[in-house]
Amino acid sequence: MRLIRPARAEDAAAIARLFLISSDGLAAYIWGLLAGPGEPLEAVGRRRYARTGVAFSWENALVAEQEGAVVGMAHAFPIGVSDAPSEEPDPILRPYAELEEPGSLYLAGLAIETPYRGLGIGSALMDATEARAAARGFDRVSTISFAMNTGAYRLYERRGYVAKDRRPLVPHPTLRYASGDAVLLVKTLG
């Protein structure tokens, strides 16, 4: 039996593992910058998701659980409205910072363990994320997808997400895609 539920603190390791999948190498880049000597990336992610009161926290995740195991997650947090957006100094991260949709609930990651794909878990997590956004007063959900990740891109388009802006990727060895664009996709709820 499958259950979609809000994440708990003890889910931090599973969320980190799944976020590594969902980010197509971007989390590996960021977590690599934060890692201590010899510290595995998943340990960095677990530490980040174990925090509270911040965007990258278990508090902002939903998980799919099957037979007691976390098999999927959706991580989404509010993007605040700001009069003066700050410029991202890191050239690898700059395209993503420039693609923010202020005032939306930002879906930062969606991932399903490989054996559980194609069973509707991703759609169920998307439904729950969009319902959570509406319940919290957001009229839009935004996400960023690599244009070359055609499976994810098609999923978002089928769900009514529309491309609003794009930026060329800055290649890095950790990124799955060495070329193409990062695309801001936005869905208006209601």
d(CA 88, CA 97): 6
Per domain, the residue ranges of the chain are 2-188
d(CA 65, CA 4): 6
Edge-to-edge, what's the strand order for the sheet holding 162-168?
2-6, 61-66, 69-78, 105-112, 140-146, 181-188, 162-168
Amino acid 107: pLDDT: 97
Please list, in sequence order, all residues whose beta carbon lies within 8 angstroms of the beta carbon of residue 6, skipping any fewer than 6 positions away. Answer: 61, 62, 63
Is the pLDDT score of 134 beyond 70? yes
Given this structure, which CATH class describes domain 2-188?
A: alpha beta
Could you tell me the pTM of the whole model? 0.94
Is the pLDDT score of 56 beyond 70? yes
- At how many degrees (to 10) do helices 12-22 and 26-34 cross? 130
Q: Taking residues 80-89, what's their average pLDDT? A: 71
Average pLDDT taken over every residue of the chain: 93
Residue type (1 letter), 133:
A
